[in-house]
Amino acid sequence: MWNPDTQVARARGVSALRSLAQAFRDVGFTEEAATGALSAESPAELLSNTAFYAFCSADQVSELVMSPAGVMIQLFVRNGDVPRDRYAQVVPAALRGLLATLGLVSEEGDAVTPAVSVSPGCSMYFLSDQLFRSDTRVAMARRSTLVMPPHASSFELLDNLGAVGGRLVDVGCGCGVLALALRERCSSVVGVDLNPRAVAYSQVNALVNGAGAGSGASADLGTGVESGAGAEFHLADLRSGLAVDGLADHLIFNSPTGPAHHSEAEIGWMTAEHALRFVVTAMPRVLRPGGVAEVLLIVEVPRDRPSATELVRSWLPEDPDVGVAELRGSPLAISPDAVTRGRLDPGCLMADSADEAARLIGHLRARGIHEVVPALVTLTLPSLS
């Protein structure tokens, strides 16, 4: 398994990471190229459902690897091997050297094999672990130990956030997509995660995308930093308290919530209610008075509750002004009709396979869940009187 810590710790690795994005652009490996090559509707749609598009494009691989951009798409988006001779013929020597220096590919017999996924999106590149391999078939990996690529939930949060600015804390930063996508709007950005591997990948992606600001023992939000300053990433666990140096203006949290139907829980998984209460507890230690927290929750709505909004507000009776925006058109939603008929709606991304979809529906029915609704919850820390 690729070790992001090693590359961040090596001067040669840091230099290579800082050169990687431009090297990808030079050969035409962009989000637009990947979207077109795999016939996706949009870059966000491709990143949200990459395994599906990898499966659907299996018969196009021989044509895909005729160009340098196509080879990169095959290796890092489809997560598939490339014939060694084709790789040597098509990919420029400088890029091959860069990928070898970083250990992003390996040569095994007659094939070149990728070690990571690379997701082009938001005019950036995000390295992460591979959630699947697509050689002769698409094989999903075990998910609890992996750092995920940008997910549909990341784009839901980005698309629905309110005005973001000032000093930002991204809780549960994963591979760093939200912090890096929002840094141009903010005076400073700090991402935190309880998974050391996620923090290391975020630091790698900050370097790849020209936002590396180094690391330190604490997360310092600072003051007076110009817009577009580097993002910092640190190890922290929201459940045991999140302390940063200086108070933030904005906290965002793409919470690891949703139906717990997997045989092994995701790292950091929590119920929607617990996620919301943890944020409420952390807000006075993280935000300035008047600061705003925005939390994306995947809410399981029981049959005896009228709506996700009513359920969320019942968890915080002391805060009558909590804002709840239900995202019913999201690919993360599961409609009442889907639960009733026992089949997920087309385009739903809450299961990776037919077997997992069946387990999910069975889990919801057994627990008396009427529907699953993504909700963006907005909380404001009261100002000092």
> What's 250-308 look like in SS3?
EEEEECCCCCCCCCCCCCCCCCHHHHHHHHHHHHHHHEEEEEEEEEEEEEEEECCCCCH
pTM: 0.90
Phi (first) and psi of residue 351, to 5 degrees: -145, 145
pLDDT in tens, 338-358: 999 999 998 898 987 888 899
* DSSP-derived secondary structure for 292-358: EEEEEEEEEEETTSS-HHHHHHHH-TT-TT-EEEE-TTSTT-B-HHHHHHTSPPTT--S-SSHHHHH
What token pair was written down for 209?
């995308």
Specify whether the CB–CB gap between 171 and 195 falls below 8 A. no
Cβ pair 221, 246 in contact under 8 A: yes
Beta bridge partners of 295: 253, 377
Retrieve residue 5's tokens: 């810590």
Give residue-wise pLDDT tens across range 92-147.
999 999 999 999 999 989 999 999 999 999 999 999 999 888 865 545 555 566 89
Q: pLDDT class for 385, splitting at 50, 70, 90?
A: low
Band (pLDDT 50/70/90 cuts) for residue 267 is low
pLDDT at 68: 98
Q: 179, 191 in Cβ contact below 8 A?
A: yes
Q: What is the mean predicted confidence (pLDDT) over 217-239?
A: 59
Q: Do 24 and 120 meet the contact criterion of CB atoms below 8 Å apart?
A: yes
Q: In this structure, which amino acid lies at residue 165?
A: G
